[in-house]
Amino acid sequence: MVLYLLLMLFLPILTLFATGFSLPPDRFWSIATSNLAWATYGITISLALGSAVCNGVFGTLVAWVLVRYDFPGKKLIDASIDIPFALPTAVAGVVLTTVYSENGILGRLFAPGSPLGSLWGEEGLRLAFARPGVFIAMTFVSLPFVIRTVQPVLEDMEKEVEEAAWCLGASPATTFWYVIFPPLIPSILTGVALAFSRAVGEFGSVVIIAANLPFDDMVSSVLIFQRLEQFDYPGATVIGIMMLFLSVALLFVINLLQNWSSKSG
């Protein structure tokens, strides 16, 4: 078992570092901080952060609706939340591109000349094959995280506390912000961090929905892939190490958040 883990997990990670750090430091540094690399970090991190926050807001809302309200089809909808985890990313890319491209059902709403599209100027708003498409793909693949971390906390929350707040004369808004929301914060943040971590590394759906233009909508994982295709191993390795650092740092943050939420929950 130790050998299996060693061979399958440790050794590949070790090789990545060994290869990266066998480069001269100034070469490593110049690849890691090249203009194109900086551009992809910026695009990746800003879009992933945006999608994680979007999932934080809507995920909390969906969790709330699923726990507190009753409506027909609720069970089915609850089960369908896991679809983004079960659906292969290539399929996600294909279906999202279909829906959000200029001729797609939802993409059409923002096409040039349409009422919503006109808000963005004459060109309309391009969703697929541009940054918004990447944002949509990232939001899709990380959608279940916040919902699934918030749901159990909401379920365990005692209704008596809320009722007590009401009896003491608090308005619904006050009850929400001062009584319901604070205990949810650790679980929301855990979910957002998990979603962010997933979105940063996402490749399959993003590469399909994006135009993958450098400095425009190319993310870091696509840059690594393109460098590998050109057999530029040092170039790919350095960016790979930067991404790995980010995932390990995020894993650390997520562990801290999970400890916090299990303590407060």
Window 158 to 177, contacts with other proteins (CB under 8 A): 172
Tokens, residue 157: 């929350």
The verdict on 88 binding other proteins (CB under 8 A) reads yes
> CB of 187 within 8 A of CB of 64?
no
Q: Write out the E strands in the chain.
A: none
The CA distance from 263 to 155, in Å, is 17
Distance, in Å, from the CA atom of 6 to the CA atom of 70, rounded to the nearest integer, reads: 49
From 15-23, 117-125, 157-165, 177-185, give the range in contact with other proteins by CB under 8 A. 15-23
Cα–Cα distance for residue pair 35/180, rounded to 1 Å = 45
Give how many residues touch other proteins by CB under 8 A. Answer: 83
Tell me which residue of 202, 184, 79 sits closest to 133, measured CA to CA: 202
From 33-41, 156-164, 178-186, 214-222, give the range in contact with other proteins by CB under 8 A: 214-222
Say how far apart CA 56 and CA 174 lie, in whole Å.
Answer: 21
**Lookup: tokens for 192:** 């957002």
Minimum distance, C-beta of residue 167 to other proteins, in the bound complex (Å): 14
Pick the binder of other proteins from 37, 62, 128, 210 (CB under 8 A).
Answer: 62
Q: Out of 31, 40, 48, 202, name the contact with other proteins by CB under 8 A.
A: 202
**Residue 108 interacting with other proteins (CB under 8 A):** no
Question: Minimal distance in Å, beta carbon 83 to other proteins?
Answer: 5
Whole-Å CA distances, 168 to 68, 158, 177:
22, 16, 15
Provide, rounded to whole angstroms, the least separation between the CB of residue 123 and other proteins: 22
Is-contact 59 145, C-beta < 8 A? yes
Is 257 a residue that touches other proteins (CB under 8 A)? no
In the chain the first and final C-alpha atoms are separated, in Å, by 35
Compute the least distance from the CB of residue 112 to other proteins, in Å. 21
Q: Which two tokens stand for residue 3?
A: 């050998």
User: For residues 218-247, which are near other proteins according to CB under 8 A?
Assistant: 220-222, 224-225, 228, 233, 236-237, 240, 243-244, 247
What residues from 114 to 153 belong to the interface with other proteins (CB under 8 A)?
136, 139-140, 143-145, 148-149, 151-152
Q: Which two three-digit tokens encode residue 182?
A: 């604070």
Q: Tell me how far, at minimum, the Cβ of 213 lies from other proteins, in Å.
A: 15
Q: Is residue 61 a contact residue for other proteins (CB under 8 A)?
A: yes
Q: Which stretch binds other proteins (CB under 8 A): 32-40, 118-126, 178-186, 198-206?
A: 198-206
CB of 177 to other proteins, least distance (A): 15
Per CB under 8 A, the list member of 161, 164, 213, 251 interacting with other proteins is: 251
Element (DSSP H or E) covering residue 160:
helix 159-167
Instruction: Tell me: does residue 103 bind other proteins (CB under 8 A).
Output: no
Task: Looking at residues 26 to 55 of the shown chain, list those that interact with other proteins (rule: CB under 8 A).
Answer: none
233-264 vs 11-21: helix axis angle to the nearest 10?
A: 130
